Amino acid sequence: MDSSDTAHRPVFVAEQLSYLAPRPGGHYADCTCGHGHFAARLAASLPAEGRLLCIDVNEAAVAATARRLARFGERCVVVRGSYVDLPALAADVGLGPFQGIVIDAGCISREELMSPDLGLSFTVDGELNMKVSPETPGPTARELVATLTAREMAALFREAGESPRTARLLASAIERARTREPLTRTVQLAQVIEQAVDAARVRRGERHPATRAFLALRSAVNRELPVLAQGLEAAISALAPGGRLCVLTYYGTEHALVRQAFRSLERGCTCPPDLPVCGCGHRSLIRRLVRDPLPPSTREVRANDSARSARLHCVERTAAPM
């Protein structure tokens, strides 16, 4: 067993497999496969003739998943791309509509997180980049840190769950630090944040003080929230009637985005109550299988610290046309 087999531990494995309930001949998709750890568990659970499509934007992740799933032969197809293009990617390889789809909104495997080439971690020194795919348009984390105002940075940190006071503190510290020298390295930025928190005597808690700031920058660089919003719609359109979608989210803004999207998709007729006949023609596209996102069990958090903030959302596609 190589080190990559123990590097990343997927969360909610049993719960996702239970909700997906793979059936013979079904088509399934892992839209953010990372290095293929959950995909391998899903592939192993597929009955005879089941097919699995794995998608990721990161070239190294696609190669790693292909190697991990090679034992399943042609039953698994791994492609590089964004899950916002799921229907087109599936059509290109002759798969779909799907009986089950999985989206991990965190979309970062531990192998990617610890890669110095990507510059995603505050514990591994690397260039302050954070682009999971080099083709991603827009600025790198280094460019954001160099150009955003303190107000803009604070708003970004708050969106990732940082408290207003701490968000302002960190943004101001970064603004001061960059006047002394360019902030170009991950550990360099993490040290600025640590020093600011210690100087202000802010209670650290269990998380590293740079956790949410790095999450905010990564999300902004990779446009994770807009991609998630578009990807949810793409996934629903690619599901067969009765097909199921499982979505993993990790912080407040992600939780809220998925909840709001699912409430909208579940909404039926919008006509006034006193209208005798429906005139809007709107029908529910999904049925929520869990009314509130599921938190991880205490046992899973003890076994896998990455699960502590995760939430699982599950819905089932209706027969209504989009």
Q: Which two tokens stand for residue 193?
A: 């944040």
Q: Which two tokens stand for residue 153?
A: 């940075």
Total-model pTM: 0.92
Could you name the CATH architecture of 121-221? Orthogonal Bundle (1.10)
Tell me if 316 sits within 8 A of 286, measured CB to CB: yes
Per DSSP, which regions of the chain are E strands? 27-30, 51-56, 76-80, 98-104, 239-249, 286-288, 311-317
Helix (H) or strand (E) holding 261: helix 252-266
Tell me if 130 sits within 8 A of 217, measured CB to CB: yes
Among 182, 121, 229, smallest CA distance to 130 is for: 121
Greatest pairwise CA separation for the chain in angstroms: 69
Q: What is the pLDDT of residues 270-308, one digit of tens each?
A: 777 777 777 777 789 999 999 899 999 999 888 888 788
Q: Which CATH class is domain 4-107+224-317?
A: alpha beta
Tell me if 128 sits within 8 A of 185, measured CB to CB: yes
Domain ranges (residues) in the chain: 4-107+224-317, 121-221
**Nearest-angstrom CA–CA distance, 86 and 28:** 12
Kindly give the confidence (pLDDT) of every residue in the chain, 322 residues in length, as a single tens digit, with 9 standing for 90 and above. Answer: 344 444 578 899 999 999 999 999 999 999 999 999 999 999 999 998 999 999 999 999 999 999 999 999 999 999 999 999 999 999 999 999 999 999 999 878 889 989 999 999 999 999 999 999 999 999 999 999 999 999 999 999 999 999 999 999 999 999 999 999 999 999 999 999 999 998 887 777 778 899 999 999 999 999 999 999 999 999 999 999 999 999 999 999 999 999 999 999 999 777 777 777 777 777 899 999 998 999 999 998 888 887 889 999 999 999 999 8
**Cα R_g (the chain), whole angstroms:** 21
Cβ contacts of residue 75 below 8 Å, gap of 6+? 43, 46, 50, 51, 52
Provide the 3-class DSSP secondary structure of residue 42.
Answer: helix
**Nearest-angstrom CA–CA distance, 125 and 319:** 50
Parallel, antiparallel or unpaired: strands 51-56 and 76-80: parallel
